[in-house]
Amino acid sequence: MVDLEKIKEKFLAALLVLTKEAEVLNLKSEYVGKNGVVSEILKSLKDMNADERKAFGPKANELKDFIQDQSTMRLASIEVLEINKKLAEDRIDVSLTEQIQVKTIKHGGFHPRTLIQQEIEDIFLSMGFDVLDGPHIEDEFHNFEALNIPSDHPARDMQDTFWFHDPHDTEAKDKIGKKRLLRSHTSTIQVRGMLGRKPPFRFIAPGIVFRSERTDASHEMVFTQLEGMMIGKDISVANLIYFMKTILKEIFKKDVEVRLRPGYFPFVEPGFELDIRCLICEGKGCSVCKQIGWVELLPCGMVHPNVLKAGGIDPEVFNGFAFGLGLDRLVMMKYGIDDIRHLQSGDLRFNSQFKLF
Ligand code: FA5
């Protein structure tokens, strides 16, 4: 009588070292295949007498089932091993890809205007200002009327505005009765900002503006301003001047020479022009400062009562200041850029000189 236990042990010892699917299938066939060891034993049952068959038959069948089950389990574990091996081989080596990128892809840099704008926004945010945005396509109310510049006011000619209609055609209005234009300054945001707030408040609003102007070293047709407004009680010109100087010191990280002179803007009273000593020529005279050694940078003033009224604020109770920083000119002064047109050139050799991402 064959020893089924020995056959079982031999099968198991052989099975456990196998690592390939084909090897397992071969082993299984050696035992329970058509002419396999166990299959032959089962065939021999018919030659046994009834008692032997009764004692041996179930054990032989159990062995057959055991071999089949063990083979199936081994096949499943080999499949898992192979999947894991494949995953390990296909793993993406991120550091390798990066090395390749460094060689083949050039990294860009932030535009210098973006760098300065972010820096200024951070300074103002740290002083409790909100940062607002506004539409580039404006109506004449926000660009002029709300700023104390009615349609017959000569100050409308101070900024050569791009209109969507003939500005002299009084009938020319859009479907909802408004004359549209490309905003000529960020002061449009003053009334928009005031209407949603109760004093005291303070905000800045950076953004591009559009003017039909002849370009030169310090003038563009599309340029950037940064509007600022602070409204509260008992705000004075001294506060305004201190504030402007502090901001310039923060931006330039050193004392810069500035001068304040009277300036006329219908939306402030009194109004000032704050000029900076030209840092391109150090005041000697160049194309940026038009040979005068000073650059107009930061007009400002105390908000006119009519503007406060347009913003829903009682001028008898509250007052405040506003300013309109020329951001492109500030960038020029900070980085020593001698022509504003470089900023809009799109020339990557220019842009890549500044801080990388
Ligand atoms: C204004 O636009 C006023 N809205 C500023 C203001 C706001 C005054 C609040 C008082 C209170 P102005 O036209 O001067 O003002 O322009 C402001 C600044 O923008 C200038 O000092 C200058 O730095 C810059 N700027 C003006 N025109 C150009 C231009 N064509 N190209 C580049 N920068 C310009």
Cα of 110 vs centre of ligand 1, distance in Å, is: 24
* Calpha distance 355→30 (Å, rounded): 72
Packing angle between helix 237-252 and helix 327-335, nearest 10 degrees? Answer: 40
Give the C-alpha separation, 27 to 114, whole Å: 71
- Please state the domain count of the chain: 2
Residues 328 and 183 in one domain: yes
Find out whether the beta carbon of 197 lies less than 6 Å from any atom of ligand 1. no
> Could you count the other beta carbons within 10 Å of the beta carbon of residue 355?
9
Pairwise CA distance, residues 41 & 57, whole Å? 9
pLDDT in tens, 40-96: 999 999 998 998 888 889 999 999 999 999 999 999 999 998 888 888 888 777 766
Q: Could you report the per-residue pLDDT of 93-133, keeping only the tens digit for each?
A: 776 665 555 566 666 678 899 999 999 999 999 999 999 99
Q: Does any domain span residue 280? A: yes
Residue nearest to atom 13 of ligand 1 (CA): 159
State whether the beta carbon of 269 lies less than 6 angstroms from ligand 1.
no
CA of 12 to the centre of ligand 1 (A): 90
Q: Whose CA is nearest to atom 31 of ligand 1?
A: 219
356 within a domain of the structure (yes/no): no
Token digits for 246?
């502090």
* Ligand 1 close to Cβ of residue 219 (< 6 A): yes
Measured CA to CA, the distance from residue 81 to residue 210 in angstroms comes to 66
Residues 151 and 222 occupy one common structural domain: yes
326 lines ligand 1 (CB under 6 A): yes
Please indicate, yes or no, if residue 66 is contained in any of the structural domains. Answer: yes
SS3 call for 229: strand
Q: Are residues 256 and 301 in the same domain?
A: yes
Residues 250 and 304 in one domain: yes
In a domain, 245, yes or no: yes
Domain that holds residue 35: 2-89
Place of tokens 């003038």: 219
Gap between the Cα atoms of 187 and 3, Å rounded = 101
DSSP bridge pairs for 319: 232
pTM equals 0.71
Residues linked to residue 262 through DSSP beta bridges, in sequence order? 272
For ligand 1, is residue 220 a contact (CB within 6 Å)? yes
**CA 65 – CA 27 distance, rounded (Å):** 14
Angstrom distances, CA of residue 250 to CA of 2, 79, 120, 246: 97, 65, 9, 6
Same domain, 81 and 128: no
285 and 235 housed in the same domain: yes
Residue pLDDT, tens place only, 3-53: 999 999 999 999 999 999 999 999 999 999 999 999 999 999 999 899 888
Q: Ligand 1 centroid vs 187 CA: distance in angstroms?
A: 10
Proportion of the chain above pLDDT 70, given as a percent: 91
Tokens encoding 278: 């030209």
* The predicted structure's pLDDT at residue 346: 84
